[in-house]
Amino acid sequence: MLYAGIAWNADGYQVEVVDADGGRAMDPTHWGAERVPELTRWLGGEGRQPQDPCAVVLESTNGLVDGLLTAAGLDVYRADPHHLGARPDFGSVPALALAELARTGRAALAPLTAEGGGQSGRDADYHDGIRRAAPVETRLTEAGRCFRHGPRERRDIALTFDDGPDPRHTRQVLDILARYDVRATFFCVGLHVRALPDEVRRIVDAGHGLGNHTWSHPFLPDLTARQFRLQLDRTSEAFDRAVGQVPDVFRPPYGARTPETLTALLDSGPALALWDVDSWDWARPGPERITRTVLDHAGPGSLILMHDGGGDRHQTVEALPAVIEGLLARDLRFVRADELAGLPDRR
């Protein structure tokens, strides 16, 4: 049995693998965010010896690789703050510490599944954070800087795609959107914006909107206000370098929020974009189920949550034409998320 730890930093992922005795089974490796599919195959046994089963531990501040790892059948676990020592404000604890936790402490960690995602086992913390954040969310809403949907009296609707850009699925989504001549919004993570700036440019050149989705897709209740602000600001800087613009909408990973993180949005920063229709595509229920979920719940003003990154999104790609055709048949007009909310166009 081998034990792997995956850490993240500004440049991508560091991976350490140890054996049953705690010794390094191989040299440390570095992987750019665009190489996560290759990393998944490598951890699964391709291209390395010995081809033993491998248990993997991630931090709760790393929500970008678990989807592919679990879909590949790897045993993946999440380490939360109380399992770890101090970590930097931007980045995770060292990969070797996570690998050692995989070897000695898996029984205390949350196992992750393709269906449950990186938030598995954190429902109580999730709902407590939302409850405590409600007063701040109300203030943002009253200021016109938080929205779940647009005006119901108009025929506008917004498709949104989270966790990209992805070197494969984002292009497929863009091709489908172009086929139907509809606009959407892509809530991108900073690690992927930095690694794949050409894909971000493709999104903008096609007339779609951009949104900030943090740098590493962390579980926000585990971040301090400073750590959250760094995630937000570094992602904005990556957008500025890639396309010369900074998104004016932000979506929290998993929809998680706390008063500490939302307070950081009160005085400045992007508007908070949630959703009123969850396609559940992240759980991979099948293209037909994804299509039916959207069409059963969407209507004028809806803000629809889908995904183009963060895992195997072929079901989303397969479902998208039927989703678009079903909504067009209702005489709905596709707009960007910022347009749906009535935010000033600062592009």
Catalytic residue among 166, 307, 308, 338: 307
Provide the residue type at 330 as one letter: R
CB count within 10 Å of CB 11 equals 14
Q: Note the pLDDT of residue 269.
A: 83
Q: Note the pLDDT of residue 47.
A: 56
Q: Note the pLDDT of residue 266.
A: 86
Buried b / exposed e over 274-290, threshold 16 CB at 10 Å, is ebbbebebbbbbebebb
Query: Taking a C-beta distance cutoff of 8 angstroms, is the pair 199, 167 a contact?
Result: yes
On the CB side of 80, CA atoms within 13 Å amount to 16
Task: Tell me which residue has tokens 């999440």.
Answer: 78
What pTM did the predictor assign?
A: 0.95
Q: Note the pLDDT of residue 85.
A: 85
Q: Give the strand pairing for 29-31 and 54-59.
A: unpaired
163 is a catalytic site residue:
no
Catalytic residue among 80, 162, 248, 338: 162
Q: What are phi and psi of 240, to 5 degrees?
A: -60, -40
Q: Note the pLDDT of residue 119.
A: 86
Query: Taking a C-beta distance cutoff of 8 angstroms, is the pair 156, 335 a contact?
Result: yes
Q: Note the pLDDT of residue 264.
A: 87
Q: Note the pLDDT of residue 118.
A: 86
Residues 6+ apart with CB under 8 A from 108: 83
307 is a catalytic site residue:
yes
CB count within 10 Å of CB 25 equals 20
Q: How far apart are the C-alpha atoms of 53 and 95, rounded to whole Å?
A: 18
Question: Between the CA atoms of 105, 62, 224 and 307, what dihedral angle is there, to the nearest 10 degrees?
Answer: -140
- 3-state DSSP assignment of residue 211: strand
Q: In order of start, what are the domains of the chain with their CATH numbers? A: 2-119 (3.30.420), 123-341 (3.20.20.370)
Q: Note the pLDDT of residue 144.
A: 92
DSSP 112: P
pLDDT along the chain (347 residues), means of 10: 96 96 95 94 74 89 94 93 92 97 95 85 94 96 95 97 96 98 98 97 98 97 94 97 97 95 88 97 95 98 97 96 98 97 75
